[in-house]
């Protein structure tokens, strides 16, 4: 059991992923190179899939901000920008900070759109910025519950046991 509701790992939702596999015994002359080698390699999904899903979640559920700036055609999606937005609240911070602690620091440009107004001769850039962390830790309760297993699990050390060939 891993939590206070007596749930096990298999009681949580899971996803099933299907991927192609290659067998080196199925050598086909149409897939060989000039030196009679076969450059195909299986995708080895176990090496990259979890990292990819984690990064997608960080982009979708991180701190997201939409901003509009003066036009700049040098920047593009995937670039990193530094942002500092001043406080607009009517209260003073304990550290006399002038910039918002959530909306400061480096952000990744997730989406970008350029708007050109030829009548007014203006160029605006609309950006969706995202980041997955803060520069300082947040205060939190001292009694956060961290689920601990009640039994020790089985350690699988052999990769072939964990990812058997199908």
Q: Which residues contact 98 (CB under 8 A, 6 or more apart)?
A: 86, 87
pLDDT in single tens digits along all 166 residues of the chain: 677 788 877 788 777 777 766 555 555 555 667 776 766 666 777 788 888 888 888 888 888 999 999 999 999 999 999 998 887 766 666 666 777 878 888 999 999 999 999 999 999 999 999 998 888 787 778 887 777 877 777 777 776 666 666 5
* Calpha distance 72→60 (Å, rounded): 25
């Amino acid at each position: 059991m891993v939590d206070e509701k007596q749930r096990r790992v298999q009681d949580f939702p899971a996803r099933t992923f299907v991927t192609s596999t290659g067998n080196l015994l199925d050598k086909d002359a149409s897939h060989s190179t000039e030196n009679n080698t076969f450059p195909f390699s299986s995708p080895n999904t176990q090496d990259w899939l979890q990292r990819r899903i984690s990064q997608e979640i960080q982009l979708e559920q991180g701190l997201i901000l939409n901003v509009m700036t003066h036009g700049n055609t040098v920047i593009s999606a995937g670039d990193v920008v530094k942002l500092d937005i001043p406080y607009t609240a009517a209260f003073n911070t304990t550290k006399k900070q002038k910039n918002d602690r959530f909306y400061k620091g480096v952000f990744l440009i997730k989406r970008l759109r350029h708007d050109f107004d030829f009548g007014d001769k203006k160029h605006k850039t609309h950006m969706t910025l995202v980041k997955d962390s803060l520069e300082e830790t947040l205060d939190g309760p001292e009694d956060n519950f961290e689920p601990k297993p009640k039994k020790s699990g089985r350690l699988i050390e052999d990769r072939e046991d964990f990812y058997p060939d199908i």
